[in-house]
A = this chain, B = another copy of it.
Amino acid sequence: MKNILQREIPEELEGIGKLEAFEGAFSKLKKGWMEEKTVPPPNKAKMPHSSKICDTLRDAILKTKPRDGMTVSFHHHLRGGDNLVYEAIKILADLGIKDITLAASSLTTAHDPILPYFKDGTITQVYASGIRGELGKAIAEGVLPKPFVIHSHGGRVRSVHTGKIKIDLAILAASAADEEGNATGAHGPSAFGSMGYAAIDSWYAKQVIVVTDNIVDYPCVPQSITQNYIDYVVKVDSIGDPSKIAGGTTRITKAPMDLQIARLAAQVIEHSGELKEGFSFQVGAGGASLAVAKYIRKIMKHRSIKGSFILGGVTSYGVDMLNEGLFRSIFDVQSFDAAVSSSLLENQYHIEIPAGLYANPFNCGCMTNKLDIVVLGALEIDTNFNVNVITGSEGYVRGASGGHSDTASGANLTVVVCPSFRGRIPIVKKKVHTIVTPGESIDVLVTERGICVNPQKSELKANLESAGIKVKDIEVLAEEVEGITGKAKPIETTERVVGIVEYRDGTVIDVIHQVKE
């Protein structure tokens, strides 16, 4: 079958089941009350005054009675510094457990060491928002017997709620925890900030282990995760390297072209009609996106505009804007910078939120639904404004869906910032390799070679033009780019579907075919 974006979707995939084709960003919501069944969180029971403390992670895992075919989940708040996924999977592999579904909120290059377990049958399926590095290459080449699933941050919560992901065991790193499993990422030697992605796992997993390098006196405060969901607590020497949480993507770029794009994007935002008293704001962490905040900050100061909230992955830059009084609050699902932790700990208007509150489309109002302006990046964007943030120019998985489609669909103004090409690789083009976010959610594209407004947004175009901002037709831009880079060499793939890209509502927006080695 073809979905509404003309992507060919199989009716059914072994290892996943029947697929539902993407019909538009709000097709399922517009049907009103959800008919999709949700699943119940587990009942558990524990005798009073019994201890949850285990000596080692291996002991804790053994107590959960691991079995073949189980689903194990992790959060990725330690980002590039995470070591726990590897440690835990190694234990399971050493115990001889096979056919594991790995349900991590995201996977980074820090997880390259688990590749051998993709190859030996320990892990046979992956659900994640993002996959990168060696894993992303191997997975695109078809290393796993079952199709992997890429979900958005909000979509992951929906998947757990609806039982598409059934977590048997959640293993959750915390930078501080007490003997009962009350836990936080906001303080301790390995502080990493918000634990937003871990909340849903703690609520729904049949069993939950909290792993920390820092047991504190009872009670641990604040309590990002609360004891009534935690089965076991383990003290380890190290949960990872918090210095690697902030990668290059979470600092403001110094690259002249990115800064130029960011400056243009800030102009677009200034004249969009959305930059007004009480507006809310999110910027992605990559390249030009974060730099946009720098220019918006100037404009806000100059025009004495005070915003309502900053949302999302939170950087020190966002915290500075909160402290300057430019925004009333921050909602923090993920801290892109360990330095953010102290603000999270001390400022009651820096609010930690679970991923469901951040972006799950099926509730009474996630934060992304209240967002006014979001600035996002792209690996590729097509002339219908469909965005790829998951596969690179060789067809390998090297990015993350993250909050891209969540915020794009919710925000009043969605700005995509990216260069029009990189090296000899076109970024603005007729057709992207993989669609993650549908063009209907993108309002405007800002590149170094011009600004393109989605034809559906005539008011925005008028606003920009009346401010003297030149708008270019995206077809024209794509042709210009092709003129420079030449036609992109098509990525050679087989018929085999190795992964699907789930839209946040659970429909399939695209599939990923096996890349020929």
A: which residues have CB within 8 A of B? 26, 28-34, 36-49, 52, 158, 161-162, 180-181, 208, 217-219, 221-223, 226-231, 278, 308-309, 328-329, 331, 348-349, 351, 353, 356-357, 360-371, 409-412
Give complex CA distance A230, B366 in Å: 10
Q: How far is the CB of A33 from chain B (nearest CB, A)?
A: 7
**Contact (A329, B219) CB under 8 Å given A43-B38, A230-B365, A363-B44:** yes
Give 17 CB contacts A-B under 8 Å. Answer: A31-B45, A38-B41, A38-B42, A44-B362, A44-B363, A45-B363, A49-B369, A49-B370, A52-B365, A180-B365, A219-B351, A221-B348, A228-B356, A228-B357, A228-B363, A228-B364, A228-B365
Give complex CA distance A494, B308 in Å: 62
Question: Assembly of this chain: how many copies?
Answer: 2
Give complex CA distance A412, B43 in Å: 24
Contact B45 A227 (CB under 8 A): no
Considering the complex of A and B, which 3 residue pairs feature the smallest CB-CB distances, nearest first?
A34-B43, A38-B40, A48-B369
Q: Indicate which residue in B47, B231, B364 contacts A26 across the interface (CB closer than 8 Å).
A: B47
Q: How far is the CB of A374 from chain B (nearest CB, A)?
A: 12
Residues of B near A363 (CB, < 8 A) are 43-46, 228-229
5 additional A-B residue pairs with CB within 8 Å, beyond A34-B44, A34-B45: A28-B45, A43-B362, A218-B278, A221-B349, A228-B357
Contact B364 A181 (CB under 8 A): yes
Q: Indicate which residue in B48, B229, B361 contacts A364 across the interface (CB closer than 8 Å).
A: B229
Q: How far is the CB of A183 from chain B (nearest CB, A)?
A: 12
Contact B348 A48 (CB under 8 A): no
Q: How far is the CB of A280 from chain B (nearest CB, A)?
A: 9
Q: How far is the CB of A156 from chain B (nearest CB, A)?
A: 15
Q: How far is the CB of A322 from chain B (nearest CB, A)?
A: 12
Residues of B near A158 (CB, < 8 A) are 43
Give complex CA distance A62, B504 in Å: 31
**Contact (A227, B365) CB under 8 Å given A329-B221, A349-B221:** yes
Contact B43 A162 (CB under 8 A): yes
Q: Indicate which residue in B29, B40, B161, B348 contacts A47 across the interface (CB closer than 8 Å).
A: B29
Give complex CA distance A197, B161 in Å: 23
Residues of B near A356 (CB, < 8 A) are 228
Chain B residue with Cβ nearest A348 = B221
Give complex CA distance A317, B344 in Å: 30
Residues of B near A365 (CB, < 8 A) are 46, 52, 180-181, 227-228, 230
Residues of B near A222 (CB, < 8 A) are 348
**Contact (A208, B45) CB under 8 Å given A219-B309, A228-B356:** no
Chain B residue with Cβ nearest A360 = B228
Q: How far is the CB of A191 from chain B (nearest CB, A)?
A: 16
